[in-house]
Amino acid sequence: MVEGVHRNKKWRTIVTAGACIAICTCVYPAVRYQNTSARRPADQYSGSIRQIYSTADKDGDGLDDQADILQGALEYIAGKPKYKSRYYQTGYPDDEYGVCTDVVASALKSAGYDLMELVQEDIAENPADYHPGEPDANIDFRRVKNLKVYFAHTALSLTTDAAKIEEWQGGDIVIFQNHIGIVSDRRNKNGVPYVIHHNDPMQVRYEEDILEKRNDIVGHYRVTE
């Protein structure tokens, strides 16, 4: 990873509900994605934390992987997916439903990473580390326990202490005992970032202040350096 001022001056355009929204990727924090159907919580932290940027741009879109993963998570929740655990022959859900792992899979896919394919490759290389039974590409990448193994094998492992606020960056992946989400670039008044996630059918907001309130964090990962 590299630290400092983001030097990417490109603009991305997203068409939402018939309107064009221009996004300046040279300003961080705050991926400037705005959609009234996914109103984001305010950044309440008054301190200063140096933002980390990835040296990689997997999909070659001019947006570094760290920012691209965060952007992808925000775009996914803007569609207001409904929570339901279902099996899909397509692997990735092809309707309005999803679960917590789909936030992560969709975010990575938008950055150029096919999590379904990558998890299958890792299972083939390390079968003893995964669940017993015949691998199923359509569902294996949508299981939290498998993603814990996969990211432990392939990503940069970071602190699980929420109090170490500078070590938590927007676009990171956080894994709980039976849950997973993407770390937000916005923070509470203590500097602890929110989590972009999809937890259950009763969830009202997809970006919430939950990180320091949970005692079951089992993993914190960064996909690229």
For residues 206 and 196, the answer to whether their CB atoms sit within 8 Å is yes
pLDDT of residue 39: 83
Instruction: Tell me whether strands 82-83 and 179-187 are parallel, antiparallel or unpaired.
Output: unpaired
Pick from 19-28, 86-95, 104-113, 137-146: least confident: 19-28
Mean pLDDT value across residues 93-112: 98
Mean pLDDT value across residues 213-222: 97
Mean pLDDT value across residues 71-93: 97
What element of type H or E holds 70?
helix 65-78
Between CA 128 and CA 63 the distance in angstroms is 36
> What residues contact 176, with CB distance under 8 A and at least 6 apart?
144, 214, 216, 217, 218
User: Average pLDDT of the chain?
Assistant: 86
Q: Is it the case that residue 31 has pLDDT exceeding 90? A: no
Confidence of residue 44 (pLDDT cuts 50, 70, 90): very high
pTM: 0.83
Mean pLDDT value across residues 142-165: 98
pLDDT of residue 36: 34
pLDDT of residue 1: 53
Between CA 61 and CA 68 the distance in angstroms is 9
Q: Is it the case that residue 175 has pLDDT exceeding 50? A: yes
pLDDT of residue 225: 82
Q: Is it the case that residue 220 has pLDDT exceeding 90? A: yes
Mean pLDDT value across residues 56-84: 97
- Higher pLDDT: 36 or 96? It is 96
pLDDT of residue 163: 97
For residues 41 and 209, the answer to whether their CB atoms sit within 8 Å is yes
- Higher pLDDT: 62 or 35? It is 62
